[in-house]
Structure 1
Amino acid sequence: MSKESARTRFINVFEGIVDELTDILVSYKMPQEAISWFKNNLNYNTPGGKLNRGLSVVDTYAILNNTTSDKLDDVTYRKVAILGWAIELLQAYFLVADDMMDQSKTRRGQPCWYLKEGVGNIAINDSFMLDGAIYEILRKHFRKDSYYVDLLDLFHEVTFQTELGQLLDLVTADEEHVDLDKFSLEKHSFIVIFKTAFYSFYLPVALAMYMSGINNEKDLKQVKDVLIPLGEYFQIQDDFLDCFGTPEQIGKIGTDIKDNKCSWVVNQALLHATPEQRKLLDDNYGKKDDESEARCKQLFKDLGIEKIYHDYEESIVQKLRQQIDQIDESRGLKKDVLTAFLNKVYKRSK
């Protein structure tokens, strides 16, 4: 099945989810105005991205069950796709709130939800409703399954972990008050692991494992020990591409320098800078003008950040491949699940 066909089949499931969620509001006798608002919230904020997290649940489930996603019967496919959409709802919840916190202007090529006419601060409640929608669809489709509590526990745990990462990011990298003394590689590592790795890498695989009946703590630890550092590598790669990639290559204009992001690139620079170079960073990092950004980028090149990154990439990939080779498959876990994730990330250029 082509990527486009897989995406289309996945999106078709979301249409049914929207109907189910709006039916709940109808059963509560909510006025039509509120029902239409909720439906618009769901459709505007949930299905517009790459859907990598949701599709990963489907792909992982297929690998664990020795098949491919296109060979899954409609009933099984729909059930595992619903778990995938639960992650996409979680992502939508985070993004609607995050855009307000960052005062972002656009998301996925359209205005941020809170900037839509008539929305404003109602977006705060709308983000809560996207989160609440997760548990409505889980209750409807998984309540009778033995792993239902595991699903709930996992979503609650990963949501809290992501919020902890967001908290440290917000208090470390205030756009209005630039203070590079607050930055460190240790803080960066915590932020990216908690803000990205848990829900983007571990959550899709763990959900597919539970649905496949693979719930041994040793197996969950095996995948976590690979996927969390893989998720950290993914974000470091993202930080690197934001600075060194071209807009044509990555599909956007990098803004980490102007936004005072606690990125891997600037933390490496702080680690290697001379006092004079540190002063240049203090004077220019987090400033909104192109000249200051250009000075920072030139400094990063002078410090050899590109070589440091490529050395790191080869080192972490070699380590992860060794870990994957040592995975115990005796209880149904498959190395191919982890290899598939690593292959998607290694040498990624967008």
Structure 2
Amino acid sequence: MDQTLWVTISEEEGQQMMAMWPDIVHDITKEIENSNNPDVAKWAEKMLQYTVPGGKKTRAFALIIAYKLLAPSDQLTEENIRLVRILAWCLELFQTYILVIDDIQDRSLLRRGKPCWYRYNDIGPAAINDGLLLQTAMFYLIRKYFKEKDYYVNLLETFYDIGFKTIIGQNSDLFSTNFGKKSNLDLFTMNQYNSIVKYKTSYYSFVIPIIAAMHIAGIKDHEKFRETKTILFKIRNLYQVQDDYLGWFGKFDVCGKNGTDIQEGKCTWFVVLALQRVTPEQRKILEECYGDSDPEKVHRVKQLFTDLGLLNTYSTYEEETYNLLKEHIK
């Protein structure tokens, strides 16, 4: 899709989405109030307003635009578009649930340009429960608005299945970083990296918006679902490598967060390639410095990546993968 058209659609959909946000918050908090928990409802509203609406909403836009492109014209009624936008907010709740938990595990400081939720008023580990509230609120909305639809079971199974796969990916990522201890560089292989990308983020970031749109649009052909997933996995790999680049060079004023992949000892595309190229002496630098927050050690790792020519490799990979994807989509 042309970039200008995407931006225009995003702006229009952003306005439509935000117009629905108060109703989404009301639905969730009203259900909590109905369980005789007014204090929890007030807390939930504060948490929802702080954590959910500030993202780029790319998953939400992908779902809405895919539905509009795939659905027969007689399906594109005002009510159906409204339902798809409600499901788009469910995707945003899903995304925020993952981020709230992930930030605690990674001990991240900033998210979307402000302190992570667990750091807000020193909430701490109690934010785990807020993450779970986001997840269960998502399923509550799906049941409320889609239970009578003939695609409800497929939709529900898609969310459950992808939620399960995402948690598997998160565990795989935690194993690769040795649960916050010094990274075991022997685990940093391209197979491990691709597995983390596929399970931790590909499913919920790229697969679920399009697959959900296909279900709502009434598509039944299993081959179409298979081909779609294949392309989406390839797109996600490219996106993740780009994200790893931001983790290396990312600046707060550009992406709203500080790049801390090196300090956290993450299994990134760059460190995997570096391990394939290093001399024994250079590997010692990684073993000593990777996964350490000391600014001097972080600088040494970044300098090693530069010395190994990883920036040029990244630029070539990005261009070639993009061109291959265009051909695959055709």
| TM-score > 0.5, shorter chain as reference | yes
Per the alignment, residue 161 of structure 1 pairs with 165
Unaligned runs of 5+ in 2: 1-7
Per the alignment, residue 48 of structure 1 pairs with 54
CA deviation after TM superposition for structure 1 residue 247, in Å: 5.1
Please give the residue correspondences for 1:135-174 in structure 2 after superposition, counting only pairs within 5 Å.
135-174=139-178
> Do residues 206 (structure 1) and 211 (structure 2) align?
yes
Counterpart of 1:45 in structure 2: which amino acid?
A: T
> Do residues 105 (structure 1) and 146 (structure 2) align?
no
1:130 corresponds, among 125, 134, 138, to 134
Distance 2:286 2:98 in 1: 31
After superposition, the C-alpha distances for 1:205-241 in whole angstroms (9 at most, x for unaligned) are 0111111111321111111010011111110111123
Please give the residue correspondences for 1:218-297 in structure 2 after superposition, counting only pairs within 5 Å.
218-244=223-249, 249-297=254-302
CA deviation after TM superposition for structure 1 residue 101, in Å: 1.4
CA RMSD of aligned residues (A): 2.0
1:58 corresponds, among 64, 67, 70, to 64
Assess if the C-alpha contact under 8 Å between 2:110 and 2:257 holds in 1: no
Counterpart of 1:139 in structure 2: which amino acid?
A: R
Distance 2:42 2:254 in 1: 38
2:88 corresponds, among 84, 87, 110, to 84
Assess if the C-alpha contact under 8 Å between 2:112 and 2:257 holds in 1: no
CA deviation after TM superposition for structure 1 residue 282, in Å: 1.2
Distance 1:237 1:184 in 2: 18
1:240/1:188 Cα in 2 relative to 1: closer, same or farther (>3 Å)?
A: same
Distance 2:119 2:220 in 1: 42
Assess if the C-alpha contact under 8 Å between 1:183 and 1:267 holds in 2: yes
CA deviation after TM superposition for structure 1 residue 76, in Å: 2.5
Assess if the C-alpha contact under 8 Å between 2:112 and 2:256 holds in 1: no
Counterpart of 1:195 in structure 2: which amino acid?
A: K
CA deviation after TM superposition for structure 1 residue 186, in Å: 1.0
Assess if the C-alpha contact under 8 Å between 1:22 and 1:39 holds in 2: yes
Distance 1:213 1:154 in 2: 15
Assess if the C-alpha contact under 8 Å between 1:57 and 1:80 holds in 2: yes
Per the alignment, residue 121 of structure 2 pairs with 117
Q: Percent identity?
A: 38
Distance 2:246 2:257 in 1: 10
Distance 2:203 2:104 in 1: 22
Assess if the C-alpha contact under 8 Å between 2:71 and 2:217 holds in 1: yes
> Do residues 298 (structure 1) and 317 (structure 2) align?
no
1:247/1:88 Cα in 2 relative to 1: closer, same or farther (>3 Å)?
A: closer
Assess if the C-alpha contact under 8 Å between 2:113 and 2:257 holds in 1: no
Distance 1:25 1:254 in 2: 37
Count of equivalent residues = 321
1:248/1:108 Cα in 2 relative to 1: closer, same or farther (>3 Å)?
A: closer
CA deviation after TM superposition for structure 1 residue 59, in Å: 1.1
CA deviation after TM superposition for structure 1 residue 248, in Å: 5.1
Corresponding residue SS for 1:257: helix
TM-score normalised to structure 2 length: 0.91
Counterpart of 1:14 in structure 2: which amino acid?
A: W
Per the alignment, residue 11 of structure 2 pairs with 4
Distance 1:43 1:188 in 2: 34
Counterpart of 2:82 in structure 1: which amino acid?
A: R
CA deviation after TM superposition for structure 1 residue 256, in Å: 1.2
Assess if the C-alpha contact under 8 Å between 2:275 and 2:283 holds in 1: yes
> Do residues 177 (structure 1) and 194 (structure 2) align?
no
Assess if the C-alpha contact under 8 Å between 1:10 and 1:55 holds in 2: no
Counterpart of 2:20 in structure 1: which amino acid?
A: V
1:19/1:156 Cα in 2 relative to 1: closer, same or farther (>3 Å)?
A: same
Corresponding residue SS for 2:292: coil
CA deviation after TM superposition for structure 1 residue 80, in Å: 0.6
Distance 1:259 1:83 in 2: 34
CA deviation after TM superposition for structure 1 residue 94, in Å: 0.9
Counterpart of 1:23 in structure 2: which amino acid?
A: K
Per the alignment, residue 31 of structure 1 pairs with 37
Assess if the C-alpha contact under 8 Å between 2:262 and 2:291 holds in 1: yes
